[in-house]
Amino acid sequence: MIKLLVVDDSALARKLIGQMFATEPDFSIQFARNGSEALGLIALARPDVVTLDVHMPEMDGLACLDRIMVEHPCPVVMVSSATAAGAEATLEALRLGAVDFVTKPTGAVSLRIADMAQPLIEKVRAAAGARLRSSLRLRERVRHRTGQTSGALRAPVSKARPAARGEGLVLVGTSTGGPPALEMLLTALPATFPWPIVIAQHMPATFTAAFARRLDGISQLAVQEIRTSVALKPGCAYIGRGDADVVISRRAGDLVGMAAPAQSGYPWHPSTDRMVRSALNQLDPRQLIGVLMTGMGNDGAEAMALIHAQGAKTIAEAEETAVVWGMPGELVKAGGADYVVPLHKIAAQLRKLVS
């Protein structure tokens, strides 16, 4: 039985979310009206998963999440509005330790609540089996226990000029748990990294631009969202636009990444499978490196196993560090991973492969 705590200041939202899970036989549900009430229930009941509204009075979702991850770490799925402000808040929540998020339907919530039912149930069920990294917020947890204050903020990153090298491409796919994993990966790579990196992170379109800006601000690589088409350059990473797919093509002989309308044959977007297959049409497999990291489902596993069989190098995140070992686990099961590497060592493995 999965113990779920639903935290929302709206009585209607609590009722509707409760109704979603009432038909699922493997859930028991409790409710909290605000962050303060939630913290008390978490300390007493120790739920397996918490759904947490971002915007609440008294103690908002981010402040509540911050204390949860320091005082009583457990998997949290954020419930956010699909707005620019909601995107920024949700990305901050993922940085603080939330496992995943769902967006509220626009307009009258009661009329379109069914739109979020299946994604929410799937993500909460996945979160119940998620692995919180033992290093997550470790410094703050130690400070909390010892009564110390938090440390200084990270200094801005200066970007060096990238060095041009032989043509090649790194293709990264990730989903649940992906934003903090990508942060760890990209911040460990230098501005001189010689191959462009193209990323398919399952995420709505209202979130990917803000996510790219966040990564650009903390990484030595130049990071941007692929909104239409863009030339792929060394020392740069490219985030596929949400609710669309990213495909690799050529223009005047140069590699470009393009945002393409989502195709029904690919269930997740941006699709890792479609991205990888499009790259195989433009480059020799030996010029490709595939990286599949944390995420539920199997997006990317089949396509990366294909390029592996044809001579590309592939990396799967190891089970011990993946929040959800779905996508990388499927690649390993298919025999398509050259390397199975914990998250904190993937950047070093990439640097070896392109050197």
* Predicted structure pTM score: 0.88
Q: In this structure, are residues 123 and 52 in contact, taking their beta carbons and an 8 Å threshold? A: no
- Determine, yes or no, domain membership for 270: yes
- φ/ψ (deg, to 5) at 228: -125, -90
Is 289 domain-assigned?
A: yes
In a domain, 301, yes or no: yes
Range of the domain at 348: 169-354
Strand order in the sheet with 27-32: 27-32, 2-7, 49-53, 76-81, 100-104
Q: Is the pLDDT of residue 105 over 90?
A: no
Higher pLDDT, 146 or 310: 310
Residues forming the active site = 175, 202, 299
Q: What is the mean pLDDT of residues 177-203?
A: 97
Total domains in the chain come to 2
**Which residues have C-beta within 8 Å of that of residue 335, sequence separation ≥ 6?**
305
Q: Do 228 and 94 fall within a single domain?
A: no
pLDDT score of 279 more than 70: yes
Provide the 10 A C-beta neighbour count for residue 319: 15
Find tokens 């209202």 and name the residue.
206
Q: Where residue 44 sits, what CATH number does that domain have?
A: 3.40.50.2300
Q: Which of 78, 33, 87 is nearest to 57 (CA)?
A: 33
Residues 100 and 17 in one domain: yes
- Whether 106 and 233 map to the same domain: the answer is no
The predicted pLDDT at position 160 comes to: 57
246 and 133 within one domain: no
Same-domain check for residues 177 and 92:
no
Instruction: Please give the share of the chain, as a percent, with pLDDT higher than 70.
Output: 89
In a domain, residue 188? The reply is: yes
Task: Mark whether 103 and 227 lie in a shared domain.
Answer: no
Per-residue pLDDT reduced to its tens digit, 217-232 = 999 999 999 999 999 9
Mean pLDDT of the chain: 90
Region 288-316: mean pLDDT is 97
Assigned domain for 141 exists: yes
Interval 92-109 mean pLDDT: 85
Residue after which a domain boundary falls, among 114, 146, 178: 146
Q: Which of 146, 179, 209 delimits the end of a domain?
A: 146
Q: Same domain, yes or no, for 120 and 181?
A: no
Answer whether residue 249 is part of any domain.
Answer: yes
